[in-house]
A and B are shown apart, each in its own frame.
Chain A
Amino acid sequence: GDDFSLIDEIKKNPELKKSLHGNTKVVMTPCRPPPNVRSVRRWLYGQDVKEEKIP
């Protein structure tokens, strides 16, 4: 009908997407990076002060 949208159909049906685009390999990664080393070092210093390991 007039409301048919191929994009919507592809979104709804992963099998259709697979047959149209193939099923290639992808490498995914978290968008958010892990805590950086500098901030972790700062945290450790604060912990050491709190635990009186550092005067």
Chain B
Amino acid sequence: MSHQDFSVSEVSADILCEFLEVAFHCILYVRQVYPPGVFERRKKYNIPVQVSRHPEVRSYIQEVVKSLRPLLQNNELEKVVLVILDGFERPVERFVFEITTPQQPNISDDSFLLRIEQALRSFILKLNICEALLSDKPKDCTWTVQVHTKESAVDTLQSQPLIESFPWVQAEDLQTSMADSRLVPLKAMQTGLVQMQLYAEEIEDKT
């Protein structure tokens, strides 16, 4: 791996981690998993975004994203999913981020960072209005994050220094399967550095 490739994978992992952190806060706000008063307005990608001011929610999201970084850097992450669960821990909604890093990143054009920022802004804007596209969710819900990867990449996830304080385990079948779901495509982007697709999935009957 050349020095240039190493830097490119680091840059794309940084961009994606920053984006996922913003996107997770945004979903939790828009889908009202936590009360709106817990969030405060910030500016990101040149647009207002809602970020939780609850210290544990913030640090939890940071820990999740920090764990994902090596997987993103090694291109070992297939999907990141924020799952909203009902009171019985059954998934009612899923926000799926399908991420691919091209084998041969193309960053020859200097404006690529600007184009990525524009694309990520569109993702956040789309998440902000996704409430109109989804049906109401049950009142008391919780959430979790799931990472779809290959068995060989689990070592990457488990060999990090922070694994002792923030371990990952295989998800329960109950929380990974969703019967009779409806798919809502939200946004896709294809840049020389990263390709990403975002869609929501919701079960027909959430009651």
Question: Are chains A and B native binding partners rather than an unrelated pairing?
Answer: yes
Chain A interface (Cβ < 8 Å from any Cβ of B) = 14, 17-18, 21-37, 40-41, 43-44, 47-48
Q: Inter-chain contact count A-B, CB under 8 Å?
A: 96
B105 within 8 A of partner (CB): no
Nearest residue (CB) in B for A39 is B56
B6 within 8 A of partner (CB): no
Residues of B within 8 A of A22 (CB): 151
Query: What's the dominant secondary structure at chain A's contact region?
Result: mixed
B108 within 8 A of partner (CB): no
Query: What's the dominant secondary structure at chain B's contact region?
Result: mixed
Residues of A within 8 A of B67 (CB): 30
Contacting pair A30 B145 (CB below 8 A): yes
Contacting pair B142 A36 (CB below 8 A): yes
Task: Tell me, rounded to whole Å, the shortest Cβ–Cβ distance linking B169 to chain A.
Answer: 5
Contacting pair A26 B149 (CB below 8 A): yes
Known A-B contacts: A14-B152, A30-B144, A37-B34. Give 17 more (CB < 8 A): A18-B152, A25-B149, A26-B170, A27-B147, A27-B176, A28-B170, A29-B146, A29-B169, A31-B167, A34-B57, A34-B143, A35-B54, A40-B38, A40-B54, A44-B35, A44-B37, A47-B37
